[in-house]
Amino acid sequence: MSKIGSKDAHHSKKEFTFNVHRDMSDEEYEEVSDEEKLQIAQHFLLSSPPGQFDEVLADVKKLLPPSLISPEMLTGIARAYNTRHSTLVTVGDKVMPICKEAEIDATKYVDSVSKKMVKVDHTKWTGTVVEDKPLPPTAFDASLESKRTAILSAVETYVTKHFGGGRAACGVYSKEGKITVVISGDKVNLKNFWSGAWHSTWTLESGELSGVAKLKAHYFEEGNVQLQTTKEFPKVAIGGGDDEAIGKAVAEEIFKAEQALQMALGAMYINMSEETLKSMRRVMPFTRSKMEWNLQAHKMVKQLHSK
């Protein structure tokens, strides 16, 4: 396999064209303001593939004026990134997802499993339990607590079963009559040039469950290929019964929806060469034989096509 990165032949040819066609001395490049540079850096960081925020940061930093990104700014960007992707942070020997439902303030989050307050370092993806401070009384909706723990227990079983490949966790939160389930899993293997993440947010309100799942996969060995999927799941009714039954029903609906999504993606991949990718370019011409690269033969093909 040939090498990517050193596109020297390409390079020299393009340079040649530039030199011939373009008077470089006329070109003037305008510096953008520091404010704009920060916006670009922020955009890059927020677009980082799963588990690669630090890698992008290391490279972007070197392209910026020294210390243009202050630690406070960086924390703000990382917090936005973590919230957007329900990124997992390590707390002791466990992980928990970052999400706005869990947020007490910019650095303090609710661990919905231990019901403790966790102080999060957004740029290190770690958290420490704040032992001496109880959760604020509004952290959970007390009237939903039994239902919330039942859902948590059922969804944890689902997560353990289906997100065993990498790291994964779920959080279940309640506020003003509404229960939110956040599921987050990722697997990062940068040595082998890939990383992926799957996170979903589900809301149970007035007996109806709806949600959205987001997936990203990145493979970049001698190239850069990414899958991005966002799938919204419309409301389904969750039947009655006791809290345990409701918990199981919620986990079952989440399983069914996410399983269907993964199966649909699998089917898309399996038929890709003959469907999706064929819409872009055929594997072989309809004649099943390669092109005749002489002017006479190709004229015949042209006539065939125009019929």
Residues 82-141 that bind other proteins (CB under 8 A): none
Tokens standing for residue 258: 């996410």
Q: Which of 186, 149, 152 is nearest to 168 (CA)?
A: 186
The size of the interface with other proteins (CB under 8 A), counted in residues, is 113
Q: Strand 94-97's sheet: what is its strand order?
A: 94-97, 88-91, 126-130, 116-121, 108-111
Q: Is 225 in the site for other proteins (CB under 8 A)?
A: yes
The burial class, CB within 10 Å (0-12 / 13-18 / 19+), for 34 is exposed
Interface residues for other proteins in 280-299 (CB under 8 A)? Answer: 280-287, 289-291, 293-295, 298-299
Mark 161-180 with x for binding to other proteins (rule: CB under 8 A) and - for no binding.
xxxxxx-x------------
Q: Is 215 in the site for other proteins (CB under 8 A)?
A: yes
SS3 at position 205: strand
Strands 178-189 and 208-219: unpaired
SS3 at position 273: coil
* Angle, CA 165 vertex, CA 160 and CA 170 arms, to 5°: 40
Q: Is 73 in the site for other proteins (CB under 8 A)?
A: no
Among 145, 205, 232, 252, contact with other proteins (rule: CB under 8 A): 232
Indicate the residue among 41 and 144 with the shorter CB distance to other proteins: 41
SS3 at position 208: strand
Indicate the residue among 88 and 118 with the shorter CB distance to other proteins: 88
Mark 29-48 with x for binding to other proteins (rule: CB under 8 A) and - for no binding.
xxxx---xx--xx-xx--xx
Indicate the residue among 5 and 239 with the shorter CB distance to other proteins: 5
Indicate the residue among 29 and 307 with the shorter CB distance to other proteins: 29
Among 139, 195, 247, 248, contact with other proteins (rule: CB under 8 A): 195
